A and B are shown apart, each in its own frame.
Chain A
Amino acid sequence: MKLQKATLCGLYAVTELAAHVDRQISAAEIAAKYDISLNHLAKVLRTLVRANVIESVRGVGGGYRFCGNAKRVTLYDLVMLFEEIGPSAQDAPPTDFAEGRALGKVLREIDEIALASLRATSIAALVKVIQKETAADPSAAKASHKLGANA
């Protein structure tokens, strides 16, 4: 499944903030870690603030803080803030011949599995996976994470 660049930025920002709920993190820090332009990130952060997933903290040492319920906010909720996902009638193969209907059935099956995974994965569960990955390869945590150029 391919996600748009803004969606990925949003997911990186949220997981970064949810993994460090005890501190505020500046947009510049997030932008540097994931190699995202600050301009692009600012737009993404505004969307997340409007959705009450994160909040901005003013003043010295200000930045952003996760304010949602990490165990209840799912990947699906976040992705849907940035893009429509799931089966779209528009892109489905035509149903006026059997081949199109058969192909549509298989493609729907793939979509349904993907959606079920996104709906069942909370931010807390994702953070757990990140911590496991980091424990397995601590050097990866320090590297900056380039977003795919074609995303």
Chain B
Amino acid sequence: MDKTDDEMRNPSFKSGAATVDDVVIRAAVAEDVSDIADLDARSTGQLKRDYWQGLFDHISGHPATGRAFFVAESRGRLIGFICGEIRAFEFGSEPSGWVFALEVESSARVHSVGTRLFDFLADGFRRAGVNKVRTMLDRRNELVLAFFRGQGMMTGPFIQLEKDLE
């Protein structure tokens, strides 16, 4: 009954030069932005350099305000990233940490890289004094939904609404 799981069978960590033990999580620096944009483009099919540059500038310019951008690196190669920030009174809620983006290179998945990135960000939020972490994603994105549920997250009290503007 197990799902066919391409990521599970991906051999890159097992047979390649790098192993999961080589993975280091560190704060993102300006030189990472183009690798982040490339990794995202490989996953989404869209290259959005300006978007990632803008997000990086927004986050890294204010490190003391609960904003954080981390990358996962294996032997000098960027294989994942996560970013988020603490937002106070957004939609009437108490301050909470928001995960804006999370991505792991497909060849490095299901080796806990995503979990380590998430834990890093969540620890930072905890240290900054908030006790809730939130995110928002497409309900058809079953993989990422399963990942966040695996971290113990459940549907929160907010409902996202939208309409076409004619």
Residues of A at the B interface (CB closer than 8 Å) are 51-53, 68-69, 71-74, 77, 112-113, 116-117, 119-122, 124-125, 128-129, 132
Question: Bound complex: CA of A74 vs CA of B149, how far in Å?
Answer: 11
User: Do A122 and B150 have beta carbons less than 8 Å apart?
Assistant: yes
For residue B88, give the distance in angstroms from its CB to the closest CB of chain A: 26
For residue A81, give the distance in angstroms from its CB to the closest CB of chain B: 9
User: Chain B: which residue is nearest A126 at the CB level?
Assistant: B149
Which chain A residues border B165 with CB–CB below 8 Å?
none
Question: Bound complex: CA of A125 vs CA of B145, how far in Å?
Answer: 11
For residue B158, give the distance in angstroms from its CB to the closest CB of chain A: 13
Question: Bound complex: CA of A96 vs CA of B49, how far in Å?
Answer: 47
User: Do B3 and A72 have beta carbons less than 8 Å apart?
Assistant: yes
Main secondary structure of the interface of B (DSSP, over half): loop
User: Could you tell me which residues of chain B, from 123 to 160, have a CB within 8 Å of some CB in chain A?
Assistant: 139-140, 142, 145-146, 148-150, 152, 154-155
Question: Bound complex: CA of A33 vs CA of B113, how far in Å?
Answer: 39
Question: Bound complex: CA of A68 vs CA of B1, how far in Å?
Answer: 7
- Interface presence of B2 (CB below 8 A): yes
Which chain B residues border A77 with CB–CB below 8 Å?
1
For residue A109, give the distance in angstroms from its CB to the closest CB of chain B: 10
Question: Bound complex: CA of A84 vs CA of B105, how far in Å?
Answer: 36
User: Do B2 and A72 have beta carbons less than 8 Å apart?
Assistant: yes
Which chain A residues border B146 with CB–CB below 8 Å?
74, 119-122, 125
User: Do B149 and A121 have beta carbons less than 8 Å apart?
Assistant: yes
For residue A107, give the distance in angstroms from its CB to the closest CB of chain B: 16
User: Chain A: which residue is nearest B138 at the CB level?
Assistant: A116
Question: Bound complex: CA of A128 vs CA of B145, how far in Å?
Answer: 16
For residue A149, give the distance in angstroms from its CB to the closest CB of chain B: 28
User: Do A129 and B2 have beta carbons less than 8 Å apart?
Assistant: no
